[in-house]
Structure 1
Amino acid sequence: MTGSRGPARWPALGRILSTIRRTRAGRRWGRVRDVELWQRSLGFAALGFLTLVPLLIVVSAANPVGGQGFAQWLGDGLGVSPAARAEIDRLFALPGEAWRTTTAFGLALLAVFGLSFGTVLQSGYERIWDLPPSRWWARWRHVLWLGALVAVLYLSAITSPWRESPARGFVTVAIGTLFFWWSQRLLLGGRVGWLALLPGAVATMVGLLGLRVFSRLVFSPLIASSAVTYGPFGTVLVIQSWLVGVGVVVFGGALAGRLVHDELARRAQPPAPGN
């Protein structure tokens, strides 16, 4: 009896799932699945740690104030406690040596590998907006985007005199929103309008602020405890997990912006005759 009863339940379950997929929430979840948000975020974190972090360490080492720019920026981004910030400073100790020992060839190699970071971000944006990949000759956008990203993070890292002021927080949010707004427009090759991209930029910055709060509550104690248990490797694991969260926010924010744009466009359409 049990064997005959079990298969009969599967068609009912299939009808329920089919009904859910036809609803608006189901279609939205389908878009999240199609974008492969989690897989892209993992690639974002791995590539960011292997290519972007070394490049930023070398660039921030040029800071004449003391060469601790990258560790300060990373601590600010995580929003960690003083104890966890000390572990981050210890992990990236003596970054000034990076600037003195890195050759021009090594810096150029880091920049070339860093360009692949823009490629990952562009492919994610194109998938979110259902656009075909750009032509190969449009790779110059990755150079421009990487230069702007390094400049924004470098300026953020060297503004230590007014690091905790409310004015700095407002300026950081404004610059971040403009950067992600411009990044979508640039990497998509102008194929999506500015107004359509604005919700995604705002959602990304809101998500990063939420991630900062989450980092203070979760990642900050994890850094301190992992450093005691695993040493510097434990700190690396927590930072890598944080980068995965950043990837989820960056791609998820752009996807949320696409969903908001589609919903606003649907509401702006005139009702069909007879409705």
Structure 2
Amino acid sequence: MRSALRRARAGRRWGHVRELDLWQRALGFAALGFLTLVPLLIVVSAADAADGRGFAQWLGDGLGVSAPARLEIERLFALPGQAWRTTTAFGLALLTVFGLSFGTMLQSGYEQVWDLPPARWWARWRHALWLAVLIGVLYLAGISPPWRDSTVRGVVTVLIGTLFFWWSQRLLLAGRVGWTALFPGAAATMLGLLGLRIFSRLVFSPLIASSAVTYGPFGTVLVLQSWLVGIGVVVFGGALVGRLLHEELRRRANPAGQGR
């Protein structure tokens, strides 16, 4: 009986993974992020980039790559400071509208993870709020002075990131899933991003330098796109792992299967 129950649970878990279609969602995350979110972040970062390299610094910190790889990223975004001076109010509004579609895609993935129907159309304001908070968090992280203690900085980053993903799930799911159920997904997402940062340091960092020599700026773009795919896998996969962990903890706390 126990063996049958384990097989049934494993089947349900695999069913969640298959229904989510993680790889396709990660590819969509990377494509939409590069087309909609990246241009908006370039404009926002340029507002405080005294040396004209604001977004490149953000990206280098996010990837956690070496100094040579950072130089290649800075060459790719050589003149982002011009974006703020040349972007019109209409262009900024258009970028914002496109950026909202990124929140829509993220909400759709979270709803698929929790088997929820799409939210009502009047809940679209949540996408605007989520995008504003995301830009604010990245902007404050980009302009903050360097920390003397890297360990303290890492702990603060993990805490802020966990809180952000915890709140993001609650907001985009319109409060239909409890805070307790969402916390494992936020923690799993942040742990996955830390692992991706280590992977970037070991793999993407030398790839950026070698691809830039072989293919020029296009090689750097390919590596950055691969990194965005990795982030998509972590974001949606972390939420899915969080749900599976939550369900497993509920089963262990209530072995008789009473309640959900």
Instruction: Establish whether TM, by shorter chain, passes 0.5.
Output: yes
1:155 aligns with 2:156: no
Gaps of 5+ in 2: none
CA RMSD of aligned residues (A): 1.8
Deviates further, 77-86 or 151-160: 151-160
Find the partner of 1:46 among 31, 41, 49.
31
Structure-2 residue corresponding to 1:11:
none
The answer on whether the counterparts of 1:61 and 1:98 sit within 8 Å (CA) in structure 2 is yes
Structure-2 residue corresponding to 1:135:
120
Structure-2 residue corresponding to 1:125:
110
Question: Within 1, Cα distance between the matches of 2:218 and 2:129?
Answer: 33
Question: Within 2, Cα distance between the matches of 1:156 and 1:122?
Answer: 24
Structure-2 residue corresponding to 1:71:
56
1:211-222 matched pairs, under 5 angstroms: 211-222=196-207
Deviates further, 168-177 or 255-264: 168-177
Structure-2 residue corresponding to 1:92:
77
1:115-264 matched pairs, under 5 angstroms: 115-162=100-147, 165-264=150-249
Question: Within 2, Cα distance between the matches of 1:196 and 1:103?
Answer: 43
Find the partner of 2:88 among 103, 109, 112.
103
The answer on whether the counterparts of 1:20 and 1:26 sit within 8 Å (CA) in structure 2 is no
Which SS does the other structure have where 2:177 is aligned?
A: coil
Which SS does the other structure have where 2:146 is aligned?
A: helix
Deviates further, 209-218 or 66-75: 66-75
Question: Within 2, Cα distance between the matches of 1:239 and 1:258?
Answer: 29
Identity %: 79
Which SS does the other structure have where 1:181 is aligned?
A: helix
AA partner of residue 113 (structure 1): F
The answer on whether the counterparts of 1:67 and 1:96 sit within 8 Å (CA) in structure 2 is yes
Question: Within 1, Cα distance between the matches of 2:25 and 2:47?
Answer: 32
Q: Alpha carbons of 1:85 and 1:104: their partners in 2 closer, same or farther (altered >3 Å)?
A: same
Question: Within 1, Cα distance between the matches of 2:177 and 2:37?
Answer: 27
The answer on whether the counterparts of 1:21 and 1:30 sit within 8 Å (CA) in structure 2 is no
AA partner of residue 29 (structure 2): F
The answer on whether the counterparts of 2:188 and 2:241 sit within 8 Å (CA) in structure 1 is yes
Q: TM-score, normalised by structure 2?
A: 0.94
Find the partner of 1:81 among 66, 72, 75.
66
Deviates further, 21-30 or 126-135: 21-30
Question: Within 2, Cα distance between the matches of 1:84 and 1:237?
Answer: 13
Gaps of 5+ in 1: 1-18
How far residue 174 of structure 1 moved from its aligned partner, in angstroms, is 0.8
Question: Within 1, Cα distance between the matches of 2:134 and 2:98?
Answer: 14
Find the partner of 2:41 among 47, 56, 60.
56
Rg comparison, structure with higher value:
1
AA partner of residue 36 (structure 1): D
How far residue 67 of structure 1 moved from its aligned partner, in angstroms, is 3.7
AA partner of residue 16 (structure 2): R
